[in-house]
Structure 1
């Protein structure tokens, strides 16, 4: 090989080596996906699969532009299809996404779309989207199971905004519409659940939460795909192409102010996490909710300015919890939302096939606190988790509540 050829190969090696996020020596289970839940992320990632046949999946890789007017060239993009959470992620099983691969470039999204072939007999296939901010090295990850023991099946349809970008939110404000496209028949079926679910128990409460004995469901019948469908009531909807199948799409519908708080009544519900039982009972019983809440916040801090800052911080946490964790419950009512509001964004987030682990705390193993969210197989959501509760959480939980109540909590 002559010197000129060697220089060209060396240049190609350097170019490729600097284009991939730093995935070498990593598996999905040891990737820290904390930026997925950060309040200061520049991007929001989503993967939206639609099953087209027993072996073919159309997958939309979406990047929401949270940063104002981001430049595509400030980021590098790759995706991988993995056989397990322990498979090593290398350039051999990762594919770069370039500007030429863009399906859509809108004010809010970069969208890539790929058709993936996954053998019918393969039991596990996990899609991973990795994006690196080349300016400061921040690494964003998002992964979902396309096939696994926790996924009944993928739906044969997708939900889309009016501009044909896949619907990537966890909620829809009641009265808004979506467009559905399907690889199955022309009609889809809608079930409506007019339910309001309870606030979860704290992490050290080990007795099981009450479960409704009956769940009202309204069979709304069929509607046509490729025609905008309006969702007008608050609750949640379950959409299916085949009502005898175990796959579908859950859609949480909310009031018009969501993910922000709507009124004083809702505010009173939301402060339950940092209130004593007596305080909360008094707030619920108060005739003038606004006056009672003003007195409540001021009683915690004894300082009007500190109280205003505390209110802003607390309900900002609620808003982020709603954006990040809404499923068929509002995000602030989920186990993850509860931990996020009180403890703040986790420093480390690790995904395994059967659980998700959040880590808080110091630099040593003994000083770290871990919350384990156990994955539950659920027809409504293939990525549904509940907190593995323990009495051992009590000291750190009360400590963080005390910090909140002193007006010193800030993230």
Structure 2
């Protein structure tokens, strides 16, 4: 009897160990960050790092209030600093943020500020901001590399709204102003790039797009910090503390209606993703773009009411792509923006050091469609991703385009 009891006790211990080991470790790479790109997110998260020393950073953690009049107590806020995308996130690495930690609470933002020190010699450091909506259990995430092989360096200055909350958008409408603050001097230096980029190739097009041989740049010289600086032209600006250094701040400047569509000419450009080549050439050559577009949408649906709804949803996707994915290119012209417009928001989003992976549909792992965006090191932004194109995308791509063209959303 005692022997049988010992056997059962041992079996129980082994079984418990097996159950616990079955739970996956919580790592940055296996966090599903789909809410980051959802059309129904209640919050928008951003971390803006400022370099204070060789291994010391100020984390400016900005939470945009997308939901109207949200209650701070409806959410739980925390941050972590990790040394790998594959590192297990343990409880002792999670730092809770309370109302007492708020640097500012405005109509549009909650703003926290913390200083972190990275151990000497550590090559990779990632800051992670997590917000739990306690009402339905949704978890919002935002992370950024403080140090990694994909980051040249972090700027030693910041850009702010007039109320001193860090500027958390991906773009600025031309003619608007930002307030730059730097502890290292009374002035900064800016360069302007009046460049317009081409529309990306579709996912199944494997040939490389043409690369411009020369990039025009206008040296606009020094300007004073702590004084509102107006950025007048459309293109993008690169602001630096030291022009011999690799670090800087890039800001895309856009027309006054952005992220929405400005005019008929722009609408013609944007429908290329769901148009045939002949249709798009006809639109481009039309003298009366509005009339040509009206006819284009009607030809797709044969129903004026359906056409109106389709136009509304398609350009809402464009607007979201502009908000989410604008960098030195407008969001709708980026690879991620293109996939987002046609395929809709992904059901799963996973980040790794060298890539971002979007998953759509399917109950099992083998039936999911995955788009892999390869991370490209770029001095202008640490968030530049290029789609890993493949002919295998062709069936699902054409299927979604056909759904759009039949007068329905493709998701």
| TM-score (normalizing by structure 2) | 0.93
CA distance in 1, matches of 2:248, 2:262: 30
Q: Structure 1 residue 140: deviation in Å?
A: 0.3
Q: Structure 1 residue 185: deviation in Å?
A: 2.2
**Aligned 1:183-332 pairs, distance under 5 A:** 183-332=183-332
Does the Cα contact within 8 Å between 1:25 and 1:90 map onto a contact in 2? no
CA distance in 2, matches of 1:262, 1:326: 16
Does the Cα contact within 8 Å between 1:190 and 1:222 map onto a contact in 2? yes
Q: Structure 1 residue 410: deviation in Å?
A: 5.7
**Aligned 1:78-117 pairs, distance under 5 A:** 78-117=78-117
Describe the shift of the 1:39–1:394 C-alpha distance in structure 2 as closer, same or farther (beyond 3 A): same
DSSP-derived class of the 2:319 partner = helix
**Aligned 1:337-348 pairs, distance under 5 A:** 337-348=337-348
Which residue of 1 is the match for residue 41 of structure 2? 41
Does the Cα contact within 8 Å between 1:191 and 1:220 map onto a contact in 2? yes
CA distance in 1, matches of 2:158, 2:395: 44
Which residue of 2 is the match for residue 368 of structure 1? 368
CA distance in 2, matches of 1:89, 1:98: 20
Q: CA RMSD in A?
A: 1.1
166-175 or 186-195: bigger deviation: 186-195
CA distance in 1, matches of 2:128, 2:362: 29
Does the Cα contact within 8 Å between 2:234 and 2:253 map onto a contact in 1? yes
| TM-score (normalizing by structure 1) | 0.93
Runs of 4+ off more than 4 Å: none
Q: Structure 1 residue 24: deviation in Å?
A: 8.4
CA distance in 1, matches of 2:331, 2:291: 27
Which residue of 1 is the match for residue 132 of structure 2? 132
Does the Cα contact within 8 Å between 2:343 and 2:410 map onto a contact in 1? no
Which residue of 2 is the match for residue 174 of structure 1? 174
Q: Structure 1 residue 25: deviation in Å?
A: 2.8
Q: Structure 1 residue 211: deviation in Å?
A: 1.0
Does the Cα contact within 8 Å between 1:52 and 1:183 map onto a contact in 2? no
**Aligned 1:386-405 pairs, distance under 5 A:** 386-405=386-405
CA distance in 2, matches of 1:120, 1:248: 23
Which residue of 2 is the match for residue 6 of structure 1? none
CA distance in 2, matches of 1:270, 1:281: 13
CA distance in 2, matches of 1:99, 1:283: 54
CA distance in 1, matches of 2:364, 2:395: 18
Does the Cα contact within 8 Å between 1:104 and 1:110 map onto a contact in 2? yes
Structure 1 residues not aligned, in runs of 5+:
1-22
Does the Cα contact within 8 Å between 1:46 and 1:61 map onto a contact in 2? yes
CA distance in 2, matches of 1:115, 1:335: 34
CA distance in 2, matches of 1:120, 1:282: 60
Q: Structure 1 residue 408: deviation in Å?
A: 1.4
Does the Cα contact within 8 Å between 1:174 and 1:234 map onto a contact in 2? yes
Q: Structure 1 residue 83: deviation in Å?
A: 0.5
Does the Cα contact within 8 Å between 1:194 and 1:234 map onto a contact in 2? yes
Structure 2 residues not aligned, in runs of 5+:
1-22
DSSP-derived class of the 2:197 partner = coil
Q: Structure 1 residue 184: deviation in Å?
A: 2.1
Which residue of 1 is the match for residue 12 of structure 2? none
Which residue of 2 is the match for residue 377 of structure 1? 377
Q: Structure 1 residue 120: deviation in Å?
A: 4.1
String of CA shifts for 1:357-404, please: whole Å, max 9, x gaps: 000011112221000000011001112110000000000000000000
DSSP-derived class of the 2:122 partner = coil
Q: Structure 1 residue 187: deviation in Å?
A: 1.4
Q: Structure 1 residue 56: deviation in Å?
A: 1.6
Which residue of 2 is the match for residue 10 of structure 1? none
Which residue of 1 is the match for residue 5 of structure 2? none
Q: How many residues align?
A: 389
Does the Cα contact within 8 Å between 1:24 and 1:89 map onto a contact in 2? no
DSSP-derived class of the 1:88 partner = coil
